[in-house]
Amino acid sequence: MKLYWAPKTRSLRLVWMMEEIGMPYERTRIDIRNDDSRANAEFRSASPMGKVPALIDGSVRMWDSGAMCAYLADQYPANKLAPPIGDPLRAEYLMWLMYTNSVIEPAMAEKFANLKPNASAYGWGSWDQMLAVLRKGVDRGPWVLGQRFTAADVLLGMSCMYMRQFKLLDVEPILDAYANRCMQRPALQRAMTIEAEG
Ligand SMILES: N[C@@H](CCC(=O)N[C@@H](CS)C(=O)NCC(=O)O)C(=O)O
């Protein structure tokens, strides 16, 4: 498997995910500020917009971090990062797996752009609704599905860390505690070392 990545980007989600699944993989760094680097033909075959992360696995080419986490958890199930088809937990898992890219990210854009909330018109609801639902979801802990850590926690955990880093969260003890639990995962610590080493 080959992961195209860049430090300090959404790629960290995938480096963490790769470390959780424990399969051998190769990393190729893309400089997203450099047109020559982004023009790499093999990279563009997986990522038509030239965005990272991107994944190549045999004939598979992928460019969305949420879809990549879903694919990897199902394709490489040894570490049980997804409830399998037929498990009643799978429905809840899928909703949380999509929550980052379909709800948290647009809500963050609302917040950054200071958009007027319009919860009934916007598919993500509003920044406040997004936070309230997320808080409730991770409160029972330790993970969003309870005792079971899944790929959904990789995406949600990174989102909580980003929101903290961008100072979008004021006093959020539940989300802070969840982000701290995620930070203790050995796979995330390895991913952060990889990122720091570039
Ligand atoms: N929806 C995509 C977003 C990926 C994305 O926007 N990546 C940014 C870095 S965090 C990027 O590559 N930006 C470079 C550019 O668009 O030129 C995902 O989650 O994988």
User: Ligand 1: does its nearest atom lie under 6 Å from the Cβ of 52?
Assistant: yes
* pLDDT score, position 169: 83
User: With 0-12 CB in 10 A as exposed, 13-18 as middle and 19+ as buried, what is 142?
Assistant: middle
User: Ligand 1: does its nearest atom lie under 6 Å from the Cβ of 105?
Assistant: no
**What 3-state DSSP class applies to 27?**
strand
CA 37 to chain CA centroid, nearest Å: 24
User: Ligand 1: does its nearest atom lie under 6 Å from the Cβ of 10?
Assistant: yes
The answer, yes or no, to whether residue 79 has pLDDT greater than 90, is yes
High-pLDDT (> 90) share of the chain, %: 95
Mean pLDDT, the chain, integer = 96
From the alpha carbon of 9, which atom of ligand 1 is closest? 10
Say what the pTM is. Answer: 0.97
Cβ–Cβ contacts within 10 Å for residue 113, how many? 8
Q: Based on C-alpha coordinates, what's the Rg of the chain?
A: 17
Neighbour order of strands in the sheet with 54-57 = 26-29, 2-5, 54-57, 60-62
pLDDT bin (cut points 50, 70, 90) of residue 125 is very high
User: Ligand 1: does its nearest atom lie under 6 Å from the Cβ of 176?
Assistant: no
In whole angstroms, give the CA distance from residue 68 to residue 14.
8
* pLDDT score, position 167: 86
The answer, yes or no, to whether residue 161 has pLDDT greater than 90, is yes
The answer, yes or no, to whether residue 168 has pLDDT greater than 90, is no
| Dihedral angle computed from the Cα positions of residues 120, 102, 137 and 186, in that order, rounded to the nearest 10 degrees | -160
The answer, yes or no, to whether residue 198 has pLDDT greater than 90, is no
pLDDT bin (cut points 50, 70, 90) of residue 170 is confident
* pLDDT score, position 51: 98
Chain segment 5-62, per-residue pLDDT in tens: 999 999 999 999 999 999 999 999 999 999 999 999 999 999 999 999 999 999 999 9
In a mutational test of the pocket of ligand 1, which residue from 9, 51, 62, 112 has the highest number of ligand atoms less than 8 Å from its CB? 51
